[in-house]
Every structure is written in C-alpha cells, then in structure tokens.
C-alpha cells in the first residue's frame, strides 16, 4: 500500500494513484498573474470554442447528407474513426497518440486545479490514472460544495481553464511544428518515387519508395516534363541509367525497360509519383500560418501516411533537415500534441451535460438570468441543449450508413 499522502485504487485494468502532493505544484502555479489572465481569456473564449465545435458537427453532418462518397469513406474507416483512442482510431498512431493524449489530459486537469487555487477554491486531491502500468491520464478533485457556492466569475474560470489550456498548448505545438518544418528542404531536385510496381524493371533494379530520380542517362531531370521528354523516345528492351538520390547517398542504376501492360509498344519502368508535389507539400506547411482562413484545413489532416503532409511516412524520405534525421519524431509528436489538444479543447467546450461546456452553460445561464428563471427551468433548458448536442454527436456515427 502507499504512504499516508497517497492512495492506490486498483480496478483491473486501471490503477488510480490519488495523492495530495500535486497540490504544492498547483499552489505555486496559481501565484503567477498570467495564469489568472489566461483563465479570464478562456472564460470569454469558451462560447466561441463551443460554437466552433457545434459548427464542425453541423458541417460534418451536412457533408454526410450531401455526398455519398464522404459517407463511403466514413463507412470504410468505421465508427472508431471518430474516437481519439490510440489503437482503435486507424489514423491515430499508438505511441504518438498515447503521449499526446496523456499530455492533453494532464494539462486539462492541472489547469482546473491551478485556477481553483487561484480563486481560493480548495482542491481535495489529485493523481494519475494508469492502464496497468501505462500512464493514460490525470485527475483533479475540486471541492464541489465550495465551487457551487462561489460566483460564476470564479467557477466559470475554473471550468473554462481546461479547454483553454488545451487550446493554448495546441497552438504552441503548432507554432513549434511550423518552426521545425521550416528547417526542412527537399533532398534533391528531381522526380520523387512514391510507389514501385512489383516485379517491374524499377523493382528489379533496387529502386525504393522515397528515392528521387535526378538524372536519366546522365541528363538532369527536374520535373515530369523533362523526364518525359527523354523517356518517351525509348522503347521496350532499351537499357537506361537512372541516377538516384536516396537521402545523402547518390547511386546509378542500370535498368532494362519492359513493355507497358496496357500497351506493349510503349516502354515501362514501373514507378509512381506522389499525388502531391513535394515542393507544394512542404511550402503548404512552411507558409500555412500566413494563410489564416485555411489554417485548420492545412494542419488538421492525420499525418500517418498522407501525401499532403511532408513529415508523414509517405513523404519524409524526400526531405532533409538541419536538425538531423530525428526531425521526423519531433514533427510527428508536435503534430499530434497540436491535433489532440485542439480537439480536446474544442470538444470539451460543447454545452453537453458533464463536459466543461455543459457545466459552464448551466452556471452561466443561472448567473445571467440572476434567479429570474427557476432552477427547474434552468435544468430543463440545460438538458434540452445537452440532448440536442448528443443527438448531433450520435448522427456522426449513424449518418454514414444512410443508403
């Protein structure tokens, strides 16, 4: 068992470690003036976060209703695609996803406790949650009795601090991500190879996805046009020499061309290019913050194997960085910390029942009406709004299966 300052609760497969030691950290952080300022900003921005979350849900529902192809993609992904759970969500990598979710939950809960102490609301306990021996989150227990008796200016700041801190952490990660991406540049000018046809001449000669063709028969090729100008005059059976740049290594490959499966008279090599130009993919991220109306579009695509993301597994071999080869770990980690914290912050702002947004909505309504509406009516309005939001969320799982 633990010492008197902590308490272990084992409920297989969860382990809850409750301790009062986190209080000292909250006390120290609560003394910083900028923390109090951020809590006020979070309170004023929470309605905006809430409207943004509702807008995203309505837009998604509209896309499902209007475009059968969008419903088909959602069906192929499955309902788990809407869950931020590593291992279940096919787009969310286990390691990066786990780290990002853990950071997001810790920041969220810690923020509640810090602002509670800043406004003199007691924190009963705090601790961490483990899945067996793997940390998966944290919790902070604020004194509910004191919270209910305090003004909305204080309780609202405590409640809004979680979502606000997630948004702040997400935006900081996004800025750092753009900074790291700005250290990247293409390995070489040439024709990038994204896929190799099995048993093709390119495959048999040892070419790999991630290679860049820089020369064809010692003639530089910088784009598709310059490659085609030299390749289109060749015939099946001709021997060519391709100069390949593979990260820092350059090599020549002698290749005997075969015939195209759909046209035996044309030469065939068996390479495929990425669907997005490597310069465009990189510049989109390097310049994305200056394209403010599209920032969420550019930076909210899952990074795992997307050709639109320069540090994804499909694109990362085409680039180098002054930070060294480990830049891919840093970029992916920063991306998922941004993505998950932003989504946690926005989702928790929804005016839904036990979520932060639901609590803020109910307490805010009571504060605004100044007891002109009975508690029963406030409860009724809150439940009605919660059920409406819940219906909208459930539609995300049901609409893809419309005929």
Within a domain: 124? yes
Give exposure, 152-167, as e/b (b: 16+ Cβ within 10 Å).
bebbbbbbbbbbbbbb
The DSSP letter of residue 128 is E
Last residue of a domain, one of 230, 248, 272: 272
Other Cβ atoms closer than 10 A to 398:
12
* Domain co-membership, 144 together with 229: no
Q: Are 9 and 1 in contact (CB under 8 A)?
A: no
Q: For residue 7, count other CB atoms closer than 10 A to its CB.
A: 15
Q: Is 292 contained in some domain?
A: no
CB-CB contact of 28 with 16 (8 Å):
no
Query: What is the number of alpha carbons within 13 Å of residue 333 lying toward its C-beta?
Result: 11
pLDDT reported for residue 220: 93
- Is 44 inside any structural domain? yes
Tell me whether the omega of the peptide bond preceding residue 13 falls within 30 degrees of 0, making it cis. yes
Q: Do 85 and 129 belong to one domain?
A: yes
Tell me whether residue 321 is in a domain: no
First to last CA, the chain: 56
Domain membership flag for residue 279? no
Residue 310 to residue 279: CA distance in whole angstroms: 9
- Domain co-membership, 37 together with 90: yes
Measure the CA–CA gap between 102 and 19, rounded to whole angstroms: 18
d(CA 350, CA 361): 9
Asked if 202 and 229 sit in the same domain, the reply is yes
DSSP per-residue string spanning 269-336? --EE--SS-HHHHHHHHHSGGG-GGGHHHHT-S--SS-TTSTTSTTTGGGEEETT-TTHHHHHHHHHH
| Residues 30, 85 within the same domain | yes
Asked whether the beta carbons of 237 and 256 are under 8 A apart, the reply is: yes
* Number of domains within the chain: 2
Q: Which CATH number goes with the domain that contains 208?
A: 2.30.42.10
Tokens of 29: 């952080």
For 350, which DSSP code?
S
Residues 112, 139, single domain; the answer is yes
Round to whole Å and give the CA distance between 57 and 91: 19
Residues 209, 89 within the same domain: no
Name the one residue in this structure whose structure tokens are 């024709």: 191
Give pTM, 2 decimals: 0.85
| pLDDT reported for residue 3 | 42
DSSP summary character for residue 86? B
Parallel/antiparallel/unpaired status of strands 239-246 and 249-256:
antiparallel
Q: What count of other Cβ atoms lies within 10 Å of the Cβ of residue 340?
A: 26
Angle between helices 94-118 and 33-66 (to 10 degrees): 130
Q: Are residues 48 and 135 in the same domain?
A: yes
| 325: in domain | no
- One digit per residue, the tens of pLDDT, for the chain of length 403 reads 334 445 766 666 667 777 767 788 888 889 998 888 999 999 999 999 999 999 989 988 998 899 898 888 888 878 777 777 777 777 788 889 889 999 999 999 999 999 999 999 998 888 877 776 777 778 888 888 898 889 999 999 999 999 999 999 999 998 899 899 999 999 998 999 999 999 999 999 999 999 999 999 999 998 888 888 888 889 999 999 999 999 889 999 999 999 998 888 899 999 998 887 888 888 877 876 555 445 555 566 666 667 778 888 888 889 999 998 888 999 999 999 998 999 899 999 999 988 899 999 999 998 888 878 888 999 999 999 999 999 999 998 889 888 7
Q: Which domain-ending residue is among 231, 249, 272? A: 272
Q: Are residues 165 and 197 in the same domain?
A: no
Domain co-membership, 201 together with 70: no
Residues 252 and 391 in one domain: no
- The conformational region for residue 120 under phi > 0 = left, psi -120 to 50 = alpha, else beta, is left
Same domain flag for 79 and 106: yes
The residue whose two tokens read 């998950």 is: 340
Q: Which of 272, 298, 326 is the last residue of a domain?
A: 272
The three-class DSSP label of residue 252 is strand
CA 45 to CA 162: how far, in whole Å? 12
Residue 377 falls inside a structural domain: yes
Domain containing 228 equals 191-272
**208 found inside a domain:** yes
In angstroms, the CA 198 to CA 206 distance is 11
């Amino acid at each position: 068992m633990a010492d008197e300052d902590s308490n272990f609760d084992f409920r297989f497969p969860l382990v809850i470690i409750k301790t009062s030691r986190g209080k000292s950290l909250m006390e120290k952080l609560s003394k910083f003036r900028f923390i109090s300022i951020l809590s006020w900003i979070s309170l004023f921005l929470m309605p905006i976060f809430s409207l943004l979350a509702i807008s995203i849900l309505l837009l998604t529902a509209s896309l499902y209703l209007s475009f059968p192809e969008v419903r088909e993609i959602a069906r192929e992904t499955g309902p788990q695609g809407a869950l931020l759970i590593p291992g279940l969500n096919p787009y969310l990598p286990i390691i990066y996803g786990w780290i990002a979710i853990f950071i997001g939950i810790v920041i969220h809960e810690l923020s509640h406790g810090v602002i509670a102490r800043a406004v003199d609301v007691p924190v009963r306990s705090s601790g961490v949650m483990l899945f067996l021996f793997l940390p998966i989150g944290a919790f902070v227990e604020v004194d509910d009795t004191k919270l209910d008796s305090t003004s909305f200016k204080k309780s609202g700041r405590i409640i809004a601090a979680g979502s606000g801190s997630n948004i702040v952490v997400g935006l900081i990660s996004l800025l750092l991500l753009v900074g790291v991406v700005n250290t990247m540049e293409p390995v070489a000018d040439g024709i990038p190879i994204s896929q190799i046809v099995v048993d093709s001449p390119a495959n048999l000669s040892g070419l790999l996805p991630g290679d860049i063709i820089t020369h064809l028969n010692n003639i530089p090729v910088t784009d598709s046009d310059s490659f085609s100008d030299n390749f289109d005059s060749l015939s099946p059976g001709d021997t060519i020499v391709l100069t390949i740049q593979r990260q820092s290594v350059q090599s020549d490959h002698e290749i005997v061309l075969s015939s195209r499966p759909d046209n035996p008279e044309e030469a065939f090599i068996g390479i495929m290019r990425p669907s997005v130009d490597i310069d465009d993919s990189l510049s989109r991220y390097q310049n994305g913050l200056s394209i403010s109306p599209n920032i969420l579009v550019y930076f909210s695509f899952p990074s795992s194997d997307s050709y639109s993301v320069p540090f994804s597994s499909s694109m990362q071999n085409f680039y180098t960085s002054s930070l060294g080869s480990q830049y891919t770990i840093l970029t992916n980690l920063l991306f998922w910390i941004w993505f998950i914290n932003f989504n946690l912050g926005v989702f928790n702002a929804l005016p839904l029942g036990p979520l932060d947004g639901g609590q803020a909505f109910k307490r805010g309504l009571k504060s605004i009406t100044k007891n002109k509406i009975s508690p029963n009516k406030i409860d009724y309005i809150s439940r009605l709004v919660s059920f409406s939001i819940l219906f909208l969320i459930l539609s995300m799982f049901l609409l893809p299966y419309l005929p």
